[in-house]
Structure 1
């Protein structure tokens, strides 16, 4: 249900002795008074008493300005210095804290005169609520939270203290109450809130930020098999829906009471850090499982991490670089397979378009690189050299495009550094990785042509690899869930060439093919060799020069193929299913709840 617009109300100032003593509000036939029964003195005392040293006060609703004035006066002087002693080194007095006021009620501000009253107060900043892109009269909660986070970072990123004017929360709970809930800290001594009810022996309850990314289906299936309750929140494709999205998350947290939030590739986590910061203040851990190069995603984020953000990566080569980004909790969690979907065929068809001696299912990267080149818009010199840069990147063990340029193409590095727009620079990095992958796969595919392979993928293969119909056979791209489980068992040899963005990791095919009881010939990445026994549970090549001899050998030895395929399937069932991966993830998350 879309958020309701704030109700309209009438405002009338009440003047006594030449000053505004109160403001009368009429709303839905009811009359409210801004001053309340006791005026704002009692409110000021509560605010001042609740504010601890070092906290940054965020006031929700300026009211008449009396409580706000008292708050400013009470915090005007420097905090008393800590006396030096054995455990207290001398420190300088602390400056008076700034105060942020969130108040969208312009009619009340005008009637109470607070803008004029505090116009010269340098410690005070008003944050007007930005209009939502969805509705110009509905305030945008995420944008307000982002403004608060920016102000907090500007003033040392200290803890926030939310000071709410009670009338404002009643006036528009969809806005002020949502802000208060998002900004409120979790006290370690408080009883467990409506979420975070972790108990030993109980399955954890994740809140899933879902998208169209294929892996979420596997995660949900694994959670069902583990008996772990879960709830889905769809990530909006349109950024204009962020207000409704945040409202949905807050409602889901309150109703479902999750133990943690889980996403893949940081989907649904905004670049400004509003969601991550909100979850951290609620004491709710955020788990993000990266199954693509995290730097192609996270480098665009202004606020990457909080103490409650736990990162998992399918590629252990990124562990140290993620820690260097500031993530304190980083774990290796490889890909896996859904063995109920990828399994041996009970009755393999005798004739089928997928039947082949050697097959490869993968993207040529021809079209993908063109789209990234268009987004990156590099200089003419970089455009001319990008294929050479990609070749050098693909042949090096490193994972950084920037470092490859500095080392191999120092004259071009300043032009790369001139791509100051983050999206353009990341598009260029992606271009190099994808072009390197395309070059590598094309080289491998050429080694397969003596065996008339079946290649399933994008139409770019027809452009990149000549001789279709004579040297090789083409099939259009396959539907992963419906066609890939049939494709793998119908090939005598399933060939795999891993993307150059993951030079050491194991990709999805490395698990799906053995799960089908099919034979796999793959590149010998270091991490693959820690997951399977090379030559026993899968055949591996260390260099494309080895491909033809290995294909020829295993085509001539079907019994050896069957033995390796059987052992590979046993390994997958024992260790590499998504149910096991999600079980591991939940075991790790239990320590953070």
Structure 2
């Protein structure tokens, strides 16, 4: 089998290549061709479309593979009769709402069961639910030297965006909204922050408020998209803002009581007790943070409604102790209290931080069991086999 891999600056590229190498050692015969790809390409770029088609024909693969979904790629694959596999790790992912999604060449895998159910309910049968994976083989090869331990050792850590660095759409339009719209959205966001496991935003925006936001920001669905204004603005504007508020408030609260190490792009955020290290590299820094932290915190982006964020897989795959907000899909694969711990409120979060900082053996046992579960069921090798079983039965 030959895979034509669209190589853009995506998380997981190296891990897929590594997984294929490992599968080949166990009896598979998979050849992979890495093709440089521009993930920012305009979906209607005919010149790029022709160039890509020529490159695919030259290699004559069985499968074209990409992380995330690209309508232009689907158009090319559908025209020349090549299977297109897209493993989507972003949510929201507006390109999924392209009319090309129903192309017969497509096998699209999404990590959030809520996202899967949206398409399944519309009768779309080429979208599949598939959680993300952990690069256990790579993580196991990273040794904790005394130097690494000193650099990354932490009682509590969080790795992730504060969503205040760029694309701060809500802040951009706040002063342009009417008092009614601003007050309504403020109340809606406060209500959502009291609820885990159910996102109420998309179905709770009245037409007058939606029109006010559209007039202020101007973002519209593309001509080939079936995405609604409600989908775009709830996920790209409001849910991002809610996540920004939640993360900064929670980190500030933890910093004041316990102290916390933060790895994020925005170096300006440094309230009392928050040690902001700046951004850390996904491959060469982040795994050491997870391995060397007593407690690894996950605060999920609000647009990920049920899915298991990649951060969770990475923490568990590194053998780290995970303390996370409630995510429904997580309970379908991992046992709470045995393989991870979740919090139900901010008060509960603070209590559990205090408890697990004082109970080292229990914390380490939970981390070990979470790691063992990932090794047994959630590696890139296993995910790749699941994909191939569906695509090439």
The TM-score bracket by the shorter chain reads: 0.7 to 0.9
Q: Report the CA distance between 1:458 and its aligned residue.
A: 2.5
Q: Report the RMSD for the aligned CA atoms in angstroms.
A: 3.0
Gaps (5+ residues) in structure 1? Answer: 1-203
2:254 corresponds to which of 444, 448, 459: 448
User: What secondary structure does 1:405 align onto?
Assistant: coil
For residues 460 and 369 of structure 1, do their structure 2 counterparts lie closer, same or farther at Cα, with a shift above 3 Å needed?
farther
C-alpha separation in 1, matches of 2:178 and 2:165: 20
Verify: 1:433 aligned to 2:239, yes or no.
Answer: yes
1:403 corresponds to which of 188, 203, 206: 203
2:276 corresponds to which of 464, 468, 474: 474
User: What secondary structure does 1:261 align onto?
Assistant: strand
Give a deviation string over 1:220-276, Cα, whole Å, max 9, x none.
Answer: 222232222122222235559955643443334333322222222214x33xxxx42
User: What secondary structure does 1:293 align onto?
Assistant: coil
Q: Report the CA distance between 1:281 and its aligned residue.
A: 3.7
For residues 534 and 380 of structure 1, do their structure 2 counterparts lie closer, same or farther at Cα, with a shift above 3 Å needed?
same
Aligned 8 A contact 2:7 2:13 in 1: yes
Superposition map of 1:247-326 within 5 A: 247-267=50-70, 269-270=71-72, 275-299=73-97, 301-324=98-121
The number of equivalent residue pairs is 374
Give a deviation string over 1:362-401, Cα, whole Å, max 9, x none.
Answer: 2111223525654999744546755444334444554474
Give a deviation string over 1:532-559, Cα, whole Å, max 9, x none.
Answer: 1111111221222211111111111111
Relative contact order (alpha carbons < 8 A, sep ≥ 6): 1 or 2 greater? 2
1:497 paired residue number: 299
Superposition map of 1:321-332 within 5 A: 321-324=118-121, 327-332=124-129
Aligned 8 A contact 1:335 1:507 in 2: yes
For residues 348 and 521 of structure 1, do their structure 2 counterparts lie closer, same or farther at Cα, with a shift above 3 Å needed?
farther
Gaps (5+ residues) in structure 2? Answer: 25-29, 223-227
Superposition map of 1:29-428 within 5 A: 204-227=1-24, 228-236=30-38, 237=40, 239=42, 242=45, 245-267=48-70, 269-270=71-72, 275-299=73-97, 301-324=98-121, 327-343=124-140, 345-349=143-147, 352-370=150-168, 374=172, 379-380=177-178, 382=181, 386-396=185-195, 397-399=197-199, 401-406=201-206, 411-416=208-213, 421-422=220-221, 425=229, 426=232
The higher radius of gyration belongs to: 1
1:569 paired residue number: 371
Aligned 8 A contact 2:178 2:212 in 1: no
C-alpha separation in 2, matches of 1:543 and 1:233: 46
